[in-house]
Structure 1
Amino acid sequence: MRSRPKEPRVPPDRRETVRHEIVSLLTGESMTAREISGQVGIGEKEVLEHLGHIRTALRSRLVVTPPACLECGFSFRKRERLGKPGRCPVCRSERIVDPSYTID
């Protein structure tokens, strides 16, 4: 059985860079990494990498609403990483609300 050669993947036409798109999405609006991923068309891990660079470039204008445990209510206020933690350190639950991001 013959298979057809794969068509080369063509990246979408963009008027601005991915980071500019993320900054324009987050200006005045709070979104999670999953929501940003859906709007921009890239993976969640890529979004988190871009958010790290954006946080450095904007010098703490990126406001992170910390993730929280749904079981015991523990809030990850001191967490420096931008991604969602895997487990709550208090009750060991994995039911954690995603952090959200906004730019002031």
Structure 2
Amino acid sequence: MKERPRQPFVPPRRQDTVRQELTALLREEGLTAKELSGLVGISEKEVLEHLEHLRIALHGRLDMTPPRCLECGFSFQKRERLKKPGRCPVCRSERITDPSFTIR
């Protein structure tokens, strides 16, 4: 059986930049990094990197709904990092909700 040559990966054509797309989506509703990743078509890690830049560029208008432990209810109110924490400091559970983001 003859193998077909692999086609190179061609990224989707974009009208706006990734950050412009993220900004438009976050103005409409609160979304998690995972949801944004699916909508924009980039990895969750890349979304978090873009959100860090947006937080600076928007001068504090990027709001984060903090993650919360599903076991004990602990809320990560003072957390500055945008990434979801690995485990709860109170009960050590790994069942934690994803933070969601909006733009005021």
Pairwise same-fold verdict (TM > 0.5): yes
Aligned length: 104
Query: Unmatched 5+ residue regions in structure 1?
Result: none
Q: For 1:11 and 1:44, how far apart are their aligned partners in 2? A: 17
Q: For 2:82 and 2:9, how far apart are their aligned partners in 1? A: 30
**What SS class does the counterpart of residue 46 from structure 2 fall into?**
helix
In the TM superposition, residue 5 of structure 1 has moved relative to its aligned partner by: 2.8
Show the counterpart of 2:78. 78
**What SS class does the counterpart of residue 102 from structure 1 fall into?**
strand
Q: For 2:28 and 2:14, how far apart are their aligned partners in 1? A: 22
Cα RMSD for the two superposed structures: 1.1
**What SS class does the counterpart of residue 48 from structure 1 fall into?**
helix
Q: Which runs of 4+ in 1 moved over 2 A?
A: 1-5
**What SS class does the counterpart of residue 69 from structure 1 fall into?**
coil
How many percent identity over aligned positions? 68
1:25 alignment partner AA? L
Q: For 2:60 and 2:20, how far apart are their aligned partners in 1? A: 16
Name the TM-score, length of structure 1 as normaliser. Answer: 0.95
Show the counterpart of 2:89. 89
